Homo-oligomer: A and B are copies of this chain.
Amino acid sequence: MKIAVDAMGGDYAPGAIVEGAVQAAKELTDSRVVLVGMEDVVKAELNRLGASGLPIDVVHASEAVGMDESPAVAFRKKKDSSIMVGVDLLKNGQADAFVSAGNTGAVMAASLLKLRTIPGISRAPIAVMLPTSKGWSVLLDAGANVDCKPANLFEFGIMGSIYASFILGKENPVVATLSIGEEEGKGNDVVREAAAMLKKSASLNFTGNIEAKEVYRGNADVIVCDGFVGNITLKVSESLAEMMEKALRGVFMTNWRSKLAYLLVKPYFEGFKKRVDHSEYGGAPLLGVNGTVIISHGSSKPKSIKNAIFQAERCAKMDIIGKIRQSMEKNAAIEGEFERSPAASGAE
């Protein structure tokens, strides 16, 4: 396997990216890392890290897309960016997966326009890992597609199930639609119809709606929602965790007793933090395009990149894309059925 890595993307690029690639390359047995970026810069980093002899290749790309640049403009004007060159490697079969911590919109645009979606898939969602009381769940879409149709959510459910069975190691992962009531028929029009479609799929272990208060209880392995709701879910969680951490710090900093208390429990807090640490998993795949694309956090440190490379290698080896293609062939009939007969949709 050849894993292409965007050496120029991310808040700490190229240093942290090249370092992560070097860490991964030291552990890879039969795969190679292909660093895509400005050759002299990347090679200088590799030299600095003493990486000679490792299974690392460098492919030159003369441009880099800024983290805040418009994806559409970047796609039109920066034809030789590390993102474009990386996706081209994937498209031309010169790489089996592509990892980027760069501009998410630009990675999505390049992936969608160059690789295209898998037959039967109309939108490509981003699938993220969510820590729960019981372990981890997969949530999709995390923010790639804001206005969704029922068929989009239906496809997210199919893809999420395949990805979860791989990443969580569960044979028949529990799939749920995120809604505002558990009962069938609760939610907005789109969720209602998507749930009716998912219920019809024989290949899915679909449990119906879950309410948002269930999200962190870990009873659903796959949580399906549109990108607007998914983004809100993730970012609100981030915001609340931030407030609670601040409050907790306030509690512990009140006086000398509370400071002593902090010293007594500090190691266990760190254990908890490590357990819910995203960087252990690497990145989030853009599912549904014809190629394994892993999007890492913009703030990725070397460990994140290393884990994203391993994740990309495993996704490619497991042929997630082939499995999605097969599953969509089996489930295509359901979409057709709902398109023909809106009355069968379950929407009231």
- By a CB distance below 8 angstroms, the chain B residues around A246 are 133
Which residues of B are found within 8 Å of A268, using beta-carbon distances?
A: 250-251, 254, 258
Contact of A180 with B251 in the complex, beta carbons under 8 Å: no
Binary B-proximity of A121-142 (CB < 8 A = 1, otherwise 0): 0000000000011000000000
Measured in the bound complex, the distance between the Cα atoms of B187 and A327 in whole Å is: 31
A242 contact set on B, CB distance < 8 A: 213, 216-217
Judged by a CB distance under 8 angstroms, whether A237 is at the interface is: yes
Is A196 in contact with chain B by the CB < 8 A criterion? no
- Contact B251–A189 (Cβ < 8 Å): no
Chain A contact residue count (CB 8 A cutoff): 52
Q: Which of B189, B232, B251 touches A272 (beta carbons < 8 Å)?
A: B251
Number of copies: 2
> Does residue A262 face the partner (Cβ distance < 8 Å to B)?
yes
CB contacts (< 8 Å) of A234 on chain B: these are 212
Does A229 touch B at the CB level, under 8 Å?
A: yes
Q: Which of B187, B214, B243, B260 contacts A132 (CB 8 A)?
A: B243
Name the B residues within 8 Å of A239 (CB-CB): 212-217
B265 pairs with A252, CB closer than 8 A: yes
Q: Does A261 belong to the interface (CB within 8 Å)?
A: yes
Cross-chain contact B229 with A211 (CB below 8 angstroms): no
Q: Are A265 and B261 in contact (CB under 8 A)?
A: yes
| Chain B residues near A264 (CB-CB < 8 A) | 257-258, 260-261
Nearest first, the 6 A-B pairs at minimum CB distance are: A212-B235, A261-B261, A261-B264, A216-B243, A213-B235, A180-B231
Given contacts A213-B238, A229-B229, A240-B241, 19 further A-B contacts (CB under 8 A): A147-B189, A180-B228, A211-B235, A212-B238, A213-B236, A215-B235, A215-B236, A215-B239, A215-B240, A217-B239, A228-B229, A229-B232, A232-B236, A248-B248, A257-B265, A260-B264, A261-B261, A261-B262, A261-B265
